[in-house]
A and B are shown apart, each in its own frame.
Chain A
Amino acid sequence: MTDTPAGNIAVAMSPAGDIVGTRNRWYLGLLLVAAPVLLVCWLVIYPIVSAVVQTVWLPTGSGEYGFSLETYRFFFSDSYSLNNLKVTLWTTFVCAVLLLVICLPIALYLRFSSGRLPAYVQALAIFPMFVPSIILSYAFIRVLGPNGMVDILLNAVGLPKIRTPYLTPWGPVIGLVWDHIPLTVLILLSGLGNVSNQAIEAARDVGAARLRVLWDIILPRISNSILVAASFAVLGIFSAFTIPYVLGPAAPEMMGPFMQRTFRELYDPTNAITQAVVSFGFCIVFGLFYVRSVARNRKA
């Protein structure tokens, strides 16, 4: 039996078992994480709890406060609100799919090629990160808007004008995809770092075709990264404000502009918070995906 207090102390005091001298100071680790945990509790957990409470603890007819799901009943029975939620989910889904379709080839190219050109491609792929979305929005109107640059170029070669995506649901989709390319490429690229050249060479040696290598060797190893990239894209796009506000149609609105309008122009904080809680409910699902994938990575 070494598992006695005396045995523990003996182990702890032996220099070999306690190289950094922290064994008896287990609280140090907790102290280190205390600051971020407290910040998260204060700035994230507490507002969430308070928001949920504010939407279910409402004044009743007699002026007293009581439990009520009235605001949620209104949201889920109001076709206008539901259409806004629907267009938000549609935009998020389409953007996430487009992002993976566009970014995976870019990331693969950057991972498996060398030289000057890939460096330029990488710089180009990261560039949107440094462009504020309000500038992007106005540039979009100039380029893809009616009589914009694309129309002028098409006209110059005798082609008809495009049906502009400005002020349609496709406007925010194009803007948001462009805006989220850098993050997605970087996450996928870091995932591709885990794929060893030997594994691919081995597969090529036994005669695997390119698609086969992608499907059976590369994709299984970066499935986690794809999940993380998708979660980040979804979380960012769901709560987007500027791009859908400037480029999107007046109705249906995405949840970001809808919440802001309800809060600031209809002076209706309760319903605005209800919309926020509903959005949060959808986002938490993807948050959990992300947390689970990080946890799984730790174990592996």
Chain B
Amino acid sequence: MKRRDFIISAGALAAGAALAPRVAQAAPGVIDWYTSSDQNVLDFWTNTVKPKFEAANPGVSVNLVDGGDNAGLQAIAERALAALGTNADPQADMFEGFDARQPVGAVDKGLWVDIKAAGLSNYGKINPLALELDGMPQNLPYRGSQVLLAYDTTKLAPDAVPKTWADLVAWIKANPGQFIYNRPNKGGSGGNFVRRAIYEANGRDPAVFKVDNYTAEAGGKMLDPAWEMLKDIAPSLMDGGAYTSGNTQSIQLLGQGAVTMIPAWSDQTIAAINQGALPETTGLVQLQDLGFPGGFARLTIPTNGVNKDAALKLADFVLTEEIQSAVLAELGGFPGVSWDYVSAELREKYKDVIPASIPVFPGGDWEKAINEGWYRAVAPNVDPNS
């Protein structure tokens, strides 16, 4: 190609790239779906939910987009909020792993569809526990996940695994350098490990933490003892108090045999074992005195999406027995519906891990206080030269 032609075509390409996003429109019949979850959840939607839904609903397709993290979805939700009340197209029809409490003021302005009132045929199947924990009719809890301890069975026999918090602390201290958790703001596995310590310091009663009962005084009184407990185990962690920067890095260290035990999401660990990132000899265990907190991932649907009705249909589809059984069997999560609505065979197989309750720690001000308090109280308590 001649130089001049090249420059002209390159210029045309650049101009096209600059103009293209302005004319992009959401296509009718294509549900724009965004997630904040990890890769295993995106894979589950790509390989299971999308093909089944599209087969059952000819003419409708799902465009699955990885929104990165919560902040990524927040930016897209803010775009939808800004488009509200104008005819502008938000190019977003469904959010996975988001919370209708965000962005601030969105519920009051009517950004999110009230799913409870939307008349989904399967809405009544949802686990009452999940609805009660959430308390937002705009959130549709559809899959649960909890944090467990993942450990290397070649180094630690399953019958010697700690089953209570006290045993766990004793084990960590007796085996220095063999445990690590990630920073509480960088992934739920470490975040819920820290929250479990907070429960331990407050009489193991999840009910004392509510989304609206944070005050600076209560925060100091209830969180400081937990920081002391975590500081106490810090010297026995890997490298005398190192903290990974995410769920994935913790799994990587367990996979490399650098540590013997980590807190990990149940679904992510099962996916890692299936893909070979963790060996078959990885064991999972939940504490028996009080489980690590977990939660239900939700779907939210903006009211101004072009494909709102199709998105509601998809939401209803996700609650069917077929998909809910797949959540259990393929994703390694817990169903969002009551256990009566998954196949009897699976119910029997997983009866030992069906949680009577999954403690859920409230977000909002507590979350902020934990993120700030842990960094100031626990993280610096390490001798960098150790």
Contacts and interface: CB of A to CB of B under 8 A. Distances in A.
A138 B257 CA distance: 16
Interface stretch (B159-167, B267-275, B373-381): B373-381
Q: What range describes how many residues of B lie at the interface?
A: 20 to 34
Contact of B375 (A141, A146, A169, A251): A251
B183 interface: yes
A145 interface: yes
Interface string A248-263: 0111110000000100
A145 B253 contact: yes
B357 interface: no
Interface string A155-174: 00000000010111100000
A265 B368 contact: yes
Interface string A22-50: 00000000000000000000000000000
A149 to B, nearest CB: 10
Contacts of A261: 185, 371, 375
Given A141-B252, A164-B239, A261-B185, A146 B258 contact: yes
A83 B257 contact: no
B232 interface: no
B151 to A, nearest CB: 16
A208 B256 CA distance: 54
A80 B377 CA distance: 10
Given A146-B256, A148-B256, A167-B244, A266 B384 contact: no
A142 B239 CA distance: 17
Contacts of B246: 246
A83 B371 contact: no
Nearest to B244: A167
Contact of B245 (A245, A266, A267): A245
B249 interface: yes
Contacts of A80: 375-376, 380
A264 interface: yes
B382 A265 contact: no
A168 B185 contact: no
A147 interface: yes
The A interface is mostly helix, strand or loop, or mixed, namely: loop
Contact of A246 (B71, B245, B259): B245
B227 interface: no
Contacts of B375: 80, 250-251, 253, 261
Contacts of A138: 252
A33 to B, nearest CB: 22
B238 interface: yes
A83 B256 contact: no
A266 B368 contact: yes
B380 A252 contact: yes
Contacts of A253: 375
B81 interface: no
Contacts of B258: 145-147
B329 to A, nearest CB: 30
A267 B103 CA distance: 12
Contacts of B71: 264
Contacts of B242: 166-168, 249-250
Contacts of B379: 249-251
A251 B382 contact: yes
A86 B253 CA distance: 29
A141 B254 CA distance: 12
B372 interface: yes
Contacts of A148: 256
Interface string A47-79: 000000000000000000000000000000000
Nearest to B259: A146
Given A145-B256, A261-B185, A267 B368 contact: yes
Contacts of B256: 142, 145-148
Contacts of A252: 380
B199 interface: no
Contacts of B34: none
A38 B246 CA distance: 41
B380 A147 contact: no
Contact of A266 (B183, B239, B372): B372
The 7 closest A-B pairs by CB, nearest first: A146-B258, A251-B379, A167-B242, A250-B379, A250-B243, A251-B380, A147-B256
12 contacts: A141-B249, A142-B256, A145-B252, A145-B253, A146-B238, A146-B258, A147-B258, A245-B245, A249-B242, A251-B379, A252-B380, A267-B368
Given A80-B376, A168-B242, A250-B183, 17 more contacts: A83-B380, A141-B249, A141-B252, A145-B252, A145-B253, A145-B256, A146-B258, A146-B259, A147-B256, A167-B239, A168-B384, A245-B245, A249-B243, A250-B242, A251-B375, A251-B382, A261-B375
